[in-house]
A and B are shown apart, each in its own frame.
Chain A
Amino acid sequence: MSCLSPRAAIGALCLFPAIFSTPLHAQEAPDVQTQLTQIQASLQQMRTDYDQRIATLEAQVSQLKKENTQLASQARKPVATLAQAPSEGPRGSIETYPPLPGSKPAATDSAPAKTLSKAQQRVAKVESLEDKITAVAPPPAAAAPTPFPNLGGNDRTIDLGAELFLDAKYSSQSQNPENPYAGVLPNGAEGVPRGFSIGETELVFKGAVDNLFRGEARFVLEQEGNSTSIKTEELFAETLGLPGGTKVKAGKYWSSVGYLNDKHPHEWDFVDLPLVYKQVFGGQLNETGAQLSWIAPTDNMLFKFGGEIAQGSNGYGESFNSNYNQNKPRLGTLYAKTGGDIGDSHSWQGGLSWVRSTTGSGASANQATYTLSNTNDVNFTGGNTTWIADFVYRWAPFGNPTSQNLKIQGEMFWNKQSGSMTSNYNCAETEGQCLQGSNFAQNQQGFYTQGIYQFIPKWRAGYRYDRVFNGTNSFGLPAEALAGSQIQSGWDPYRNTIMMDWANSEYSLIRLQLARDNAFGPGIYNNAIYLQYIMSLGAHGSHKY
């Protein structure tokens, strides 16, 4: 291509021997010289070739243009005679009009029509020849680079990618999903309502702010009873230019702990979250704070480490006392992820995460409150620690997931809360917190494991088993205080879920899901059927692993 841009050829090739005329480079000089002559020769030849071709084509074009003008003038003649006939009056200006219907020289009418169409053909031929000439021209040099990174949308001047995810469901369940789960503490996330409902309709704006920062905002329209509410799901800025494999992200975002935690509802493989996410995080851990992550400079395997500091609330979920308007952030996380490939067809990722939050103590203590029954609460002061181990394995034949692929994933949670409590249990209404103790301790665990198999293009089927373990607890309350409450010791609910979905394209999906669980208490089974669609509009998504 050096022949097509003489500047580079001459600039680079000519200058090198001139500059490096030292004995060290003397050997290279003849080589470059011969190359130079060769290139110049081929350049010359190409130039002549092109000149000849262009000359021929231009000759043809001018010839055809000439013929065309002749034909066009012939075609116009009858019109001109028509105009000349009525020599007086305003009709004199009719010259350029086509022949009027029923006008005198009817005999001549059809002939010029023919020549006209012939002329049009000629014009088309000329135009196509002109196209050929432009097609012969060399491809243009590099398009001018856009001024800023473009990670969001197709608009290269504003770089604001917008996406809209629509999610609607129909569900039929044998239990009321608004009832609290038993044996699960805390219980923040709502179930899918019965009947028709809209799920999370997500509106995303994202893009590069400038060469150093990128921003993303996600707003969610959620059905709440008969009305809808708007929530800020994520709103953060992150760095693009930090050295050494580091990145800082700050704002409100889904924590990177675990595997499923930072996946948006439209990326889930099932209609709902595993029970253990509801148990430990009351949904997903979504916090306002800052995150630092670092990727080790390794060759084949990924080693990623990160940590977050967030304002936090002790029970993690939104239903607990938040730490809003306090100087001291009370939630921290650390996580490590590793992963790699096994051959072309297999890949995997594993992670270990740690989440810790405290209520603080003394005057600034920010107690977490759990409901025992309609009138009784237990308030908790202390710390809340969670460990998560996660694993994902994917198979795709030759690494091509288009027609078939398999994904197996699982996560295990260990959650521990310990500290002291106060409660209004058995108090006369005016006396307040009459029960106090220093022995609030709760150990819960939970896991889920699931497999999703795409057996033919567009169709996937999946199975999930999940279970939570209420563990060993001591709340400083008499056993009867716990009866009928969420904190029923010794109840370990489980759930079986199967699903099948069909994706017409990357942008649409329809899913059927069947589930049976006993999360509402011993012997109370919830049989559920869900039908869901997820549609996405806007910028082309680019999904995480």
Chain B
Amino acid sequence: MKLFKTLSALSTGLMLSLTPSLAHADLKIFATVPEWGALAETLGGDKVKVYTATTGMQDPHRIQARPSLIAKARSANLLIATGGGLEIGWLPTVQREANNAGIMPNQPGFIEVSRYVQMLDIPAVVDRTMGDVHAEGNPHIQTDPRNLLPIAKAISARMQQLDPENATYYHTQLSQFNQSWQANLQRWQKQAAPIRGVKVWYQHDGYPYMNAWLGLNQVGVLEPHPGVEPSSRQLADILQRQQSVQGRMVIAPAYLNDAPAKWLSEKAGIPVVVLPFTVGGNEQAKTLAALYDDTMQRLLVALK
């Protein structure tokens, strides 16, 4: 058929003209969120080329499956996602539209890192009246730096599997990361002593892992349901509760409009702490270690 001929001629021509650009490639990594992008860069060094689909100022729940994401996913060798439902609103479309067999679920080129840590806040029952609740548990696992150890190991294993020529290199990088991270963890552990047991309010229920890490005492959440802004009446109720629970600060992630947190801060006379939430969430949090350093500093400053 004429149409067939035109079609195949067209596509063959285009493939031939573009194939050479494939040859020089390093391991191309597509990370959905900045923390895994930064981790992949640490673990892969100069053997990988990392693309991060979102910035620290974006809500990873709500991303549009933009053409650029599909173009990046098309050539990616490894797709690193948080999983646990975090990217469910856009990642399946990107995977399906990208025509890349290697990054489909259950392929070596696709890793959901939340499978490698203990998930918290797994609801016994979940339905839509509860808002954006994830059946798999709370997906914001990066707020506890201890989670990065098993995740780094899992990501490095995939790198070694996909790029066996550089396996030794990846392994060395992993060992170095583990060493430095253990040192970081010990340092933070010491720094965190004054924070332990401090009562805090959260604007978004995104920090159960940080609570577990720092021993913060979560007294409540401003959002009535995850992802739903509180009304003025709900905020008034929270101010009422603050009288008795006496939270010491109110914490908001950088990507959200922190107006509700500011309101409570003013009325209750407690500081509002805007945490970076991920790498690139603010000026200071430029690297993984800086993310937790900055988080720690902001909490300590608020306590003074």
Contact = CB atoms under 8 A, between A and B. Distances in A.
Contact of B168 (A16, A244, A295, A545): A16
Contacts of A243: 101
B6 A302 contact: no
A302 B71 contact: yes
Interface stretch (A181-189, A229-237, A336-344, A374-382): A336-344
Counting contact residues on chain A (CB < 8 A from B), the size range is: 35 or more
B68 A42 contact: no
A125 B280 CA distance: 43
Contacts of B14: 294, 296, 305
13 contacts: A12-B171, A142-B116, A151-B92, A151-B105, A246-B99, A247-B99, A296-B74, A297-B75, A298-B71, A305-B14, A398-B55, A400-B255, A457-B229
Contact of B65 (A214, A298, A344, A544): A544
Contacts, number: 199
A309 interface: yes
Contacts of A294: 11, 14-15, 99
Given A141-B116, A347-B64, 7 more contacts: A1-B149, A214-B96, A297-B74, A302-B67, A334-B7, A400-B255, A544-B97
B92 A400 contact: no
A142 B57 CA distance: 30
B106 A151 contact: no
A242 to B, nearest CB: 7
B246 interface: no
B64 A401 contact: yes
Nearest to A13: B175
Interface of A: 1-2, 4-5, 8, 12-13, 16, 20, 28, 32, 35, 38-39, 42, 139-143, 145-151, 154, 208, 211, 214, 240-247, 292-305, 307, 309, 332, 334, 337-341, 344, 347-349, 356, 394, 396, 398-403, 457, 505-507, 537, 540-545
A310 to B, nearest CB: 10
Contacts of B22: 297
A340 B88 CA distance: 22
A542 B179 contact: no
Contacts of B104: 149, 240-241
Contacts of A148: 105-106
A245 B100 contact: yes
Given A38-B179, A543-B93, A292 B67 contact: no
A292 B11 CA distance: 10
B147 to A, nearest CB: 8
A396 B66 CA distance: 12
Interface stretch (B150-158, B193-201, B231-239, B283-291): B150-158
Nearest to A246: B99
B245 to A, nearest CB: 22
Interface string B151-181: 0111000000000000010011001001100
Contacts of A300: 68, 71-72
Given A297-B75, A339-B66, A398 B21 contact: no
B62 interface: yes
Nearest to B131: A505
B90 interface: yes
Contacts of A537: 128
B67 A400 contact: no
A51 B115 CA distance: 27
A214 B106 CA distance: 14
Contacts of A150: 105
Contacts of B98: 245, 295
A298 B73 CA distance: 10
Given A240-B104, A247-B99, A542 B88 contact: yes
Contacts of A140: 118
Given A398-B57, A542-B93, A347 B179 contact: no
Contact of B182 (A42, A151, A338, A542): A42
